[in-house]
């Protein structure tokens, strides 16, 4: 079967009908493409009968990455319904809020997740437990269902996926069938994905990364899909070999976890050729390619679909890609376009204060809004443009560099800094398995730089490491360093920055700090807290460079 160019997800699912090649692998099970399409068709027919008349055609899916998840995605597409992926790390009232806010009339789940729903008040929500006899009996009645793609249109609402944020309740971004099909087609074309490829879905399918960047291009290209119930660093390479994986997606700290596994002489014995995702960082991407011989491509796309930056050959190291027409970096206050970045010979950004701004799409935007959240929608569409909420800077040749979220910006001694830039430098520290940089309040005004490092830390070697980094600006050195065994992450393996910021340096983990005017890091004690939070060093004292601890150590 040739790859399909369907305009809707329903057409892409229906195209698998009659194709008896292997299409889905999961824990020893193999389903043909036809079986996947038939399973989706049966569930679509069941869904049509179960949805109450007049209700929003929305279903919630509270599952790990099992075959039921993609089959219910296919079912929703065929039925013209929408799927809300429910985050299993949410609890209590917050979990209930996600389900009720998206008006899910049916919640598909299993025995594993039932304890999460205990004592929740979910009026009007019917539970379908995929591992129950009742569910099996229901599906038997629809075993002869045929996929009918004619019900769906490109504008049909298909995904309601929650965007993560540091404050407030998650927002449910809308993705239509047409937009998801187009996104899958774009990635399949960009990476020359075809029917002989196998896509590995190890990121959670309730998140947009796995569905948009992994499942959708597989449907478009006719590739097979290998599912991992939950991400496992130790299981990554064995799965790649077992299923003949050629392409995978990642997000957050997943690459660092894979790199932390024990190296082997057989690390290159596999079929993998490409990984696509975000937040691996240049250091880890290079280490992954050296060790496993497979290239990682860091991409950028806002969760809501309002802006994207595509990598292309010739993109400088550290850059995401060239700015497409309409993409600009704007000063958040003046709305003026930020000037191009200037670098010194060491690659240090010289004018970050003026060059770093918010990435804005002033051209046509595929952003389709948020479900029942007009205030958040208006915030995204200020001045008729799409504001991404992400910080970037642009070089003289038009290449864009990611600098973090808008709430990851730090203002130190009157200078604006971006957390992502500092993290890229600290990631070179030999003991660091993962790094997070964020702001803690300065005693007088602005911020102080704090870093959390997962891995091994030695105060002397870290201070000497900082001195040897030519692109570390005089305001960038962390005042505080928190050392953890494992970086706290969200369900999608992104660093849990909100929790780190909230705890600051008053946390249970050991914290090292560089008091103003001192050269070395030392353990932060209870007696130090008054100085850390109290009045700053006198104006007529050590220079700003000395207060940041960047001067050479006296031998």
The secondary element (H helix, E strand) that includes residue 360 is strand 357-361
pLDDT digit string, tens, across residues 128-143:
999 999 999 999 999 9
**Domain boundary, last residue among 141, 176, 211:** 176
Please check whether residue 422 lies inside any domain of the structure. yes
pLDDT score of 549: 32
CATH value at residue 126: 3.40.50.12780
Same domain as 401, residue 448: no
> What pLDDT band is residue 213 in, cutting at 50, 70 and 90?
very high
**Domain boundary, last residue among 151, 176, 201:** 176
Q: Note whether 24 and 227 are within 8 A (CB).
A: yes
Same domain as 418, residue 391: no
Same domain as 508, residue 469: yes
CATH value at residue 394: 2.30.38.10
Altogether, the residues listed in the chain come to a count of 555
Please check whether residue 341 lies inside any domain of the structure. yes
Same domain as 530, residue 423: yes
Same domain as 417, residue 404: no
Same domain as 431, residue 384: no
Quote the domain boundaries for residue 362.
Answer: 316-408
Please check whether residue 482 lies inside any domain of the structure. yes
pLDDT digit string, tens, across residues 297-310:
988 888 798 999 98
Same domain as 457, residue 352: no
Please check whether residue 292 lies inside any domain of the structure. no
Please check whether residue 520 lies inside any domain of the structure. yes
Torsion sign, CA atoms 220, 225, 231, 237: negative
Mean predicted confidence (pLDDT) in 72-86: 97
Q: Note whether 280 and 255 are within 8 A (CB).
A: yes
In whole numbers, what is the pLDDT of the chain averaged over residues?
A: 89
Judge whether residue 546 has pLDDT over 60: no
> What pLDDT band is residue 174 in, cutting at 50, 70 and 90?
very high
The 3-class SS string of 391-418 reads EEEECCCCEEEEEEEHHHEEEECCEEEE
Same domain as 167, residue 42: yes
**Domain boundary, last residue among 176, 204, 235:** 176
pLDDT digit string, tens, across residues 412-437:
876 778 788 899 899 999 989 999 99
pLDDT score of 445: 64
Same domain as 131, residue 28: yes
Please check whether residue 145 lies inside any domain of the structure. yes
**Interhelix angle for 33-50 vs 133-140, to 10°?**
100
CATH value at residue 520: 3.30.300.30
Please check whether residue 131 lies inside any domain of the structure. yes
How many domains does one find in the chain?
A: 3
DSSP 463-475: HHHHHT-TT--TT
Integer Cα distance of 203 and 489 in angstroms: 13
Same domain as 87, residue 53: yes
Same domain as 482, residue 372: no
Please check whether residue 452 lies inside any domain of the structure. yes
Integer Cα distance of 130 and 76 in angstroms: 16
pLDDT digit string, tens, across residues 455-507:
999 999 999 999 998 888 778 899 999 999 999 988 777 888 888 988 999 99
Same domain as 326, residue 436: no
């Amino acid at each position: 079967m040739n790859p399909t160019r369907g305009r809707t997800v329903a057409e892409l699912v229906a195209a698998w009908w009659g194709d008896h090649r292997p299409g889905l692998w999961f824990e020893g099970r193999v389903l043909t493409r036809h079986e996947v399409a038939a399973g989706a068709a049966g569930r679509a027919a069941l869904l049509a009968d179960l949805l109450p008349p007049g209700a929003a055609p929305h279903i919630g899916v509270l599952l790990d990455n099992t075959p039921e998840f993609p089959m219910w995605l296919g079912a929703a597409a065929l039925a013209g319904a929408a799927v809300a992926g429910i985050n299993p790390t949410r609890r209590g009232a917050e979990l209930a809020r996600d389900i009720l806010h998206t008006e899910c009339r049916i919640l598909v789940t299993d025995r594993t997740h039932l304890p999460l729903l205990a004592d929740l008040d979910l009026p009007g929500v019917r539970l379908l437990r995929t591992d129950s006899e009742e569910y099996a009996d229901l599906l038997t009645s629809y075993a002869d269902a045929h996929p009918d793609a004619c019900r769906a249109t490109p504008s049909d609402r298909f995904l309601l996926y929650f965007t993560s944020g540091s404050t407030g309740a998650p927002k449910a971004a809308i993705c239509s069938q047409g937009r998801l099909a187009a996104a899958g087609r774009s990635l399949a074309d960009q990476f020359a994905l075809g029917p002989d490829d196998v896509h590995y879905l190890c990121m959670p399918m309730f998140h947009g990364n796995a569905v948009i960047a992994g499942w959708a291009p597989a449907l478009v290209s006719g590739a097979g899909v290998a599912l991992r119930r939950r991400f496992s660093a130790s299981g990554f390479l064995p799965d790649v070999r077992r299923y003949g994986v050629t392409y995978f997606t990642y997000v957050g700290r997943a690459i660092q976890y894979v790199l932390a596994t024990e190296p082997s002489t057989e690390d290159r014995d596999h079929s993998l050729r490409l990984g696509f995702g975000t937040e691996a960082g240049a250091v880890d991407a290079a280490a992954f390619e050296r060790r496993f011989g497979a290239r990682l491509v860091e991409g950028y796309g806002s969760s809501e679909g309002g802006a994207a930056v595509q990598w292309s050959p010739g993109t400088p190291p550290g850059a995401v890609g060239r700015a497409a027409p309409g993409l600009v970096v704007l000063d958040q206050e003046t709305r003026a376009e930020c000037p191009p970045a200037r670098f010194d010979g060491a690659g240090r950004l010289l004018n970050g204060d003026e060059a770093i701004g918010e990435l804005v799409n002033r051209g046509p935007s595929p952003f389709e809004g948020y479900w029942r959240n007009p205030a958040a929608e208006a915030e995204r569409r200020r001045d008729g443009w799409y504001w991404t909420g992400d910080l970037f800077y642009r070089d003289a040749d038009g290449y864009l560099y990611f600098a973090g979220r808008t709430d990851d910006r730090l203002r130190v001694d009157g200078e604006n800094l971006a957390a992502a830039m500092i993290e890229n430098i600290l990631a070179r520290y030999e003991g660091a398995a993962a790094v997070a940089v964020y702001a803690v309040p300065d005693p007088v005004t602005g911020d102080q730089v704090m870093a959390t490092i997962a891995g091994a830390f030695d105060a002397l070697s870290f201070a000497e490491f900082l001195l040897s980094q030519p692109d570390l600006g005089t305001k960038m050195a962390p005042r505080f360093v928190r050392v953890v065994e494992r970086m706290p992450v969200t369900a999608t393996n992104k660093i849990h920055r909100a929790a780190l910021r909230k705890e600051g340096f008053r946390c249970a983990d050991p914290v090292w700090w560089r008091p103003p005017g001192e050269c070395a890091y030392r353990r932060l004690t209870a007696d130090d807290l008054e100085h850390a939070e109290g009045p700053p060093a006198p104006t007529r004292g050590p220079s700003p460079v000395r207060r940041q601890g960047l001067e050479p150590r006296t031998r």
